[in-house]
């Protein structure tokens, strides 16, 4: 342990987690670093990350709530068309704030300064997914990550982010 940084420490104030996935269009367009940068600059802590080609089974389960929608099959096929970056971010109100940072599902409705508002044009290529509730975040994190793939630690910056 150096200074106030330590491994194995979970912040009591900021232990809410969200699942964020950079979709194949975001990966192919080279936006991984920019998206990570925005979450880091906001003050959220990255506790898990994978770069993978998601299986059809994983994607069908992830989007199971949309199964009856006409775009379900196409969405699963698209998400399987290239690599994705799956991440778990932690922080106070990270689910709600993360959704604001993403912008609206339809990029045309997203404000400038949001990820979708700055980088997207069409809903079918909206580059990023974010959990829409704490419950869905828990479900999605459990689907994409094993518990031992998430790292618990106290960031050295925690005292400069939280009062």
Q: Name the residue among 112, 88, 81 with its Cα closest to residue 36.
A: 88
- Per the residue annotation, which of 17, 38, 45, 129 is the catalytic one? 129
Does 62 participate in catalysis according to the annotation? Answer: no
Q: Is 71 annotated as a binding residue?
A: yes
Chain position carrying tokens 């982010």: 161
Q: Is 93 annotated as a binding residue?
A: no
Quick one: tokens of 45?
């802590």
Q: Is 69 annotated as a binding residue?
A: no
Cα-based angle 95, 72, 64 (whole degrees, multiple of 5): 55
Q: Is 126 annotated as a binding residue?
A: yes
Q: Is 18 annotated as a binding residue?
A: no
Q: Is 114 annotated as a binding residue?
A: no
CA distances from 88 to 70, 94, 120 (A): 29, 10, 22
Residue list, annotated binding site: 23, 71, 99, 105, 116, 126
Residue list, annotated binding site for ATP: 23, 71, 99, 105, 116, 126
Q: What are the residue numbers of the active site?
A: 129
């Amino acid at each position: 342990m150096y200074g106030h940084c330590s491994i194995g420490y979970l912040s009591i104030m900021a232990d809410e987690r969200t699942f964020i996935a950079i979709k194949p269009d975001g990966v192919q367009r080279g936006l991984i670093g920019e998206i990570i940068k925005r979450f880091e600059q906001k003050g959220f802590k990255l506790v898990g990350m994978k770069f993978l080609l998601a299986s059809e089974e994983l994607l069908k389960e992830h989007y199971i709530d949309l199964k009856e929608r006409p775009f379900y099959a196409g969405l699963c096929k698209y998400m399987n068309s290239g690599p994705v970056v799956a991440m778990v971010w932690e922080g106070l109100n990270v689910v709600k704030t993360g959704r604001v940072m993403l912008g609206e599902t339809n990029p045309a409705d997203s404000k400038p300064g949001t990820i979708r508002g700055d980088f997207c044009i069409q809903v079918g290529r909206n580059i990023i997914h974010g959990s829409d509730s704490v419950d869905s975040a828990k479900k999605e994190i459990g689907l994409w990550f094993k518990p031992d793939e998430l790292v618990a630690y106290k960031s050295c910056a925690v005292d400069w982010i939280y009062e």
